[in-house]
Structure 1
Amino acid sequence: MAANITTEYRMNDMRMLIQVIVVLFLCINLLLITTFFSKEVFYTTMRYLLFAVTLMSDSMFLFVTDILLIVNFSQYTIQMWFCLILYIISSLCMVVTPVTLTAMTLERYVAICLPLRHAELCSPRSTLHVILIIYSLSSLPCIVFLSIFFASASSASYTQSGTCAGETFIIYTWQGHLMSAINQFYFLIMGITVVFSYVKIMRVAKAASGEDKQSTWRGLRTVGLHAFQQLLCLIQLWGPFIEAAVSKINLMLSIKVRFFNYITFILAPRCLSPLIYGLRDEMFFHALKKIVLCGLRKKH
């Protein structure tokens, strides 16, 4: 009995910690989005526009997954139509971030390895096309999954209440395997793209000199951080399979594993975006500092 109470207290502490982290980074993302709209150069430059896409996608993903976490661990039941809406949003945002990171990596590759073509390939008009491609590619896995679900589920199932989780919409075992295969294929292509860009930029960095060398190595570190983010996103795909296997052994252990996966593979990669461009980028950092300082002066 005492052990169960202690475990419950620990779970409550973990929930509170997650809420603090989510609220903190939602506030940081909101501040960064405000900074993005403060200067024309940000919303006319590809890398900043793509950065804004990741911020908005990550913010929505954190918000929706946090709602699902609260609902599931509070053992609330919701109607499947509402769960379906939450699932569509979270599934889309989950893929948007790594696809956008790949696009940002390619932008760095063009800027460093093809500087004479950068203005042409990374113009504002090209950026809009890239954003449309990002959302089109990101929506494909969700469309495939939902098409199978709509074809298989009965109309009565949409008004039923139950626990909201991705497994709810898996009617046949092969659906889960198909989605896993599609996601793994996506991340394989993105991984190859990032590695290719990293190798090419490294060659340019070794051959460069002076200021060009410093700028190139900075771009190389940025691509490396993108690669680390994508690795965490890839591991996230294996989370449900690990949790399902552990739940058959020990329920309380599976809850702890779920918390660990959520913090390490869902929160962590989404929290790296503000670090990579919000704090490391000199121009963006100065604009951010100006907004923060103006806000503090107004309070005083």
Structure 2
Amino acid sequence: MDNSSLLAGESVGRQLNDRILILQILVAVFFCINVLLIVTFFQKECFYTVTRYILFAVALLSDSLILTMSNIMFIMIYFRFSMPIGLCFIFCFVLSMYSSVTPVTLTAMTLERYVAICMPLRHAELCTARSALHCVLIILLLSLIPCSAVMFVFLSSVSLSFFTPVQNCAIDTFLIHTWQDHVRSAIYQLYFFVMFTVLIFAYVRMIKVAKAASGENKKATRKGLRTVVLHGFQLLLCLIRLWCPFIEFAVFQIDLALFINVRTFNYIFFQVAPKCLSPLIYGLRDEKFFHSLKYDVLYGLFKRNH
């Protein structure tokens, strides 16, 4: 190998290292924002007794967990670290489950906005703190189904000796049959088809209400419509993430360096980015939540300085 090839390889390595550093900064920033929002949520009773804020907190907790775990897995794969298969199994199971929690929660939040705008007289009756807790249990159950379908097949197909080796941790390790990946993709596609159907239905009905509304009601309805649109954009990014493994596999057959670049791009835009939109949609756009957050931050700084 000549010197120019070595320099090119070192240049690619430096670029990738810079990207990894930038990625860690982005993940840390959004993780800190999520933590601030979660602390604000638990500090005031007016938040943890209202359905939409409870669902928002569930989305924040899920996003924070996914950001942390997916970032750890990304770094381990990038630097080729290994872990026991048993620990990797638990890691991938939790990550797969909570990857579904966010989009299912977004759908529930869309339905809550639909009830608030299109059925205002029944909103207080339907959207109580008790019903929100029941909704959280349903969200966790629905999120458990896709990953369970893959993991239970894996557990029934391998012996205990499979769990002893140490190797790189990735979800692909547990896809021992080709049809497993097809089943997983089919379940996810069905989920997102249902979610988008609910989203479009709610959006169309809310548009009709917006046309008939006036004054403050019209303003609140338009804000609800923007929230639903942002939810739709989040769900679209989550849906595109399902196609990323197929794209990465095709690129891997062409060039390794291009594969690493594509995988890094997919991780940033279709794994990290959707998880960073929740604070914007409900945390920073919601006046009550934003004022509480600003008060907590400023009061904390003022108290520290004095």
Aligned to 2:214: 209
**Alignment-derived partner of residue 237 in structure 1:** 242
Q: 1:168 aligns with which of 173, 191, 199?
A: 173
Q: Deviation at 1:78?
A: 1.2
| Cα distance in structure 2, aligned partners of 1:55 and 1:195 | 24
Partner of 1:79: 84
Residue 251 of structure 2 corresponds to 246
Match of residue 156, structure 1, among 161, 177, 180: 161
**Which residue of the other structure, out of 26, 34, 48, is the alignment partner of 1:29?**
34
Alignment gaps of 5+ in structure 2: 1-5
Displacement of 1:298? 1.9
**Equivalence map 1:40-79=2 (5 Å):** 40-79=45-84
Q: Aligned-pair distance for 1:154? A: 2.1
1:178, 1:160 → 2: CA distance? Answer: 27
Find runs of 4+ consecutive structure 1 residues off by over 4 angstroms: none
| Partner-residue secondary structure (3-state), 1:41 | helix
Paired residues for 1:108-127 under 5 Å: 108-127=113-132
CA distance in 1, matches of 2:297, 2:119: 36
The alpha-carbon deviation at position 270 of structure 1 amounts to 0.5
What's the CA shift string for 1:91-122, capped at 9, x where partnerless?
01100000000000000000000001101110
User: Partners of 2:113 and 2:201 in 1: how far apart?
Assistant: 12
Superposed CA RMSD in Å reads 0.7
Q: What stretches of structure 1 of length at least 5 have no aligned partner?
A: none
Cα distance in 1 between the residues matched to 2:24 and 2:88? 21
Q: What is the distance in 1 between the residues matched to 2:252 and 2:273?
A: 24
Alignment match, 1:288? 293
**Cα distance in 2 between the residues matched to 1:113 and 1:125:** 21
TM (norm. structure 2) is 0.97
- Compute the displacement of 1:299 (Å): 2.4
Q: Which letter maps to 2:14?
A: Y
Cα drift, residue 295 of structure 1:
1.2
Spell out, residue by residue over 1:62-98, the C-alpha distance to the aligned partner (whole angstroms, 9 max, x if none).
Answer: 0000110111111111111111111011101100000
State how many pairs are aligned. 300
C-alpha distance in structure 1 between counterparts of 2:237 and 2:251, whole Å: 20
The question of 1:187 aligning with 2:192 is answered: yes
Percent identity for Structure 1 against Structure 2: 54
Partner AA of 1:214 in structure 2: K
Give distance in 2, aligned partners of 1:78 and 1:253. Answer: 26
Which residue does 1:261 correspond to in 2?
266
TM-score normalised to structure 1 length: 0.99
SS in 2 for 1:276: helix
Q: What is the CA deviation profile of residues 219-277 of structure 1, one whole-angstrom value per residue up to 9, with x for unaligned ones?
A: 00001100000000110111111111211111111110111001100111110000011
What one-letter code is carried by the residue in structure 2 that aligns with 1:159?
T
**Cα offset, 1:43, TM superposition:** 0.3
Cα distance in 2 for residues equivalent to 1:14 and 1:93? 26
